[in-house]
Amino acid sequence: MKPSAYALVLTLGLFFGGCAAAPDPAAPSAREVDCSAPVMADKATYTGTRDVTACSWKGIPFGAPPVGELRFQYARPAAVSGARNATHFGHTCLQGMGGKVESYRTKLTFDEDCLNLNIWAPGSSEDGMLRKGLPVMVWIYGGGFSQGSGATNLYNGEPFTTRDVIVVTLNYRLGGPGWLGITDATDADGQVLAGNFGLSDQIQALRWVKKHIAAFGGNPDNVTIFGESAGAYSVCALMASPEADGLFHRAIMESGSCTVAGPETHAEYSRQWIARVGCPATAPESLACLRKLDGQWLRENAPWPLFEIDAPVVDGRLLPRQPIDALQGAGRNVPLLAGFNADEVKLLALVNRNLMHKQDESWAVTWANLESAVGADAVRKLQAAYPPDQYAEPRELILQAATDVLFSCPARQAVRAGNAPSWLYRFRIEPDSFFLEPHSGTFHAAEIPFVFGNRNLLMLLFQRQESLENAVRLSQQIQSYWTNFAHRGDPNGAGLPAWAPFTDGEFQMELTTPLAATRGEFKARCEVWDSVVPGELNTLFYEFGPELLGVDSVF
């Protein structure tokens, strides 16, 4: 999801996400690892630090600084040598809103020289040395491809390491510098610069992990990529990209899709972005102009975001075709765990002025709006799939339909693609369990503190003792499922309710309190949407979305 709903969620999460989990008193005794001992990777030696129960190394360069002639170029390997202090986060990539995304207790700095990653590893072992051969989980942040950072405390990897995994977070270029298409310009290899620079950053980071993670205790042959929102879109794009083949072995998508922008529309919006920063319309003049712009000016004054370019695009190189088509055609070759939140877009009703006033809209107007968007035949099918008597007001139905279109059905579509095993989930916060829930439902990004095991954030959100205990229990179960999947490619494990693969009657795990399961609940609704929703991401968000909701603009 794009701002402003996403920005509200991110702000809440970043403000409250500042503390690592306390050590588990029940953990067996072991010797602490000297986290400051130098670790050699290629020609560099990195000195890390201790983060509660984990060793961490921060700000490790994986890509050459994308500045000067490397701005609007695909990522190149970093040339790093000598002793490196890896105790502090590196720069966060330039981004919109004046670069105001900050994390509680972590002051972020913004610069184009931002292609760095962070590593957390277990900080104890039997012999006091770094453990070897552990599964690796690489996190790709969300933020609508226009904001976010791998350095925010919301994504602190320390709690994961108590489950015997290595966690990596990375940065990738955002907004125009990350996704702009310059379709009449080519790079040194003669490749058209159609966009996807941010995707190339992610691939370069995975190449670094493949080559160097063993030095930090990770197994380069057991890598799981996982991400939320834009990060989940990225995960699917990476599954479909031939240049990422073999760099990871499992994938987790939280609230994402396998549909990206089409080349023609993306190119047109890119031309508009170039014009808005005052550069000529055609190359080589446009490319030369774009590379001369001051980076800080770009952060403060460029059009952040021009939503339509902030996304992966079918470019003929990193993404030769739509990811969903590639996965369905060639078959997905890695196990996938994917899902969505129960009320992904309900938060829009709090921040979108038009939606706030739709609560008194009649059913007749609602169905008329839907008919204008999808046609009369589809509306008849939707009326059967969404019985009006199940909704207190039309707005509730519309928000549920929008969640299905943008998240539920794309998740179902992703797990259906290919022949590799897959598991589907729906995440749901316990009703009336914290102050925002009655108004927001289980909103977009709400699962993140549960996934990362951030007990301090959960304590702030869930004030009642019983609700807090349920939230912590659910977080532990989710972390178990996620890390079991990272270890073995199957989320199931001791002490957890059985989670059957999706193919077992469209099985879906309900990640709520208590855990439950359903079969085929969304099949009828998604079969309708799969037949009527336009294919391009920008159309989905910026043309179809407002029509579906019956408003002028989603954001």
Give residues with Cβ within 8 angstroms of 137, minimum separation 6: 157, 160, 165, 166, 167, 168, 223, 224, 225, 226, 482, 483, 486
As given in the structure block, the two tokens for residue 90 are 């590196």
Residue 182 — φ and ψ, nearest 5°?
-120, 75
Query: How far is the C-alpha of 534 from the C-alpha of 234, rounded, in Å?
Result: 20
Query: How far is the C-alpha of 169 from the C-alpha of 155, rounded, in Å?
Result: 8
In this structure, how many other beta carbons lie within 10 angstroms of the beta carbon of residue 319? Answer: 25
Strand order from edge to edge, sheet including 218-228: 49-51, 54-61, 116-122, 166-170, 134-140, 218-228, 250-254, 336-341, 422-427, 507-511, 516-519
As given in the structure block, the two tokens for residue 109 are 């700095």
As given in the structure block, the two tokens for residue 181 are 């298409």
Q: In 371-519, which ranges are E strands?
A: 422-427, 507-511, 516-519
Query: How far is the C-alpha of 227 from the C-alpha of 545, rounded, in Å?
Result: 23
Please give the single-letter amino acid code of residue 151.
Answer: A
Of 365, 411, 436, 434, which Cα lies nearest the Cα of 521? 411
Please give the single-letter amino acid code of residue 468.
Answer: L
Q: In 69-188, which ranges are E strands?
A: 82-85, 116-122, 124-125, 134-140, 166-170, 182-186
Query: How far is the C-alpha of 166 from the C-alpha of 324, rounded, in Å?
Result: 29
As given in the structure block, the two tokens for residue 52 are 């509660």
Residue 196 — φ and ψ, nearest 5°?
65, 25
Query: How far is the C-alpha of 500 from the C-alpha of 521, rounded, in Å?
Result: 15
Please say whether the beta carbons of 170 and 202 come within 8 A.
Answer: yes
Query: How far is the C-alpha of 452 from the C-alpha of 160, rounded, in Å?
Result: 7
Please give the single-letter amino acid code of residue 467.
Answer: S
Query: How far is the C-alpha of 409 from the C-alpha of 339, rounded, in Å?
Result: 9
Query: How far is the C-alpha of 183 from the C-alpha of 57, rounded, in Å?
Result: 38
Active site (catalytic) residues? 229, 344, 444
Of 459, 543, 327, which Cα lies nearest the Cα of 17? 459
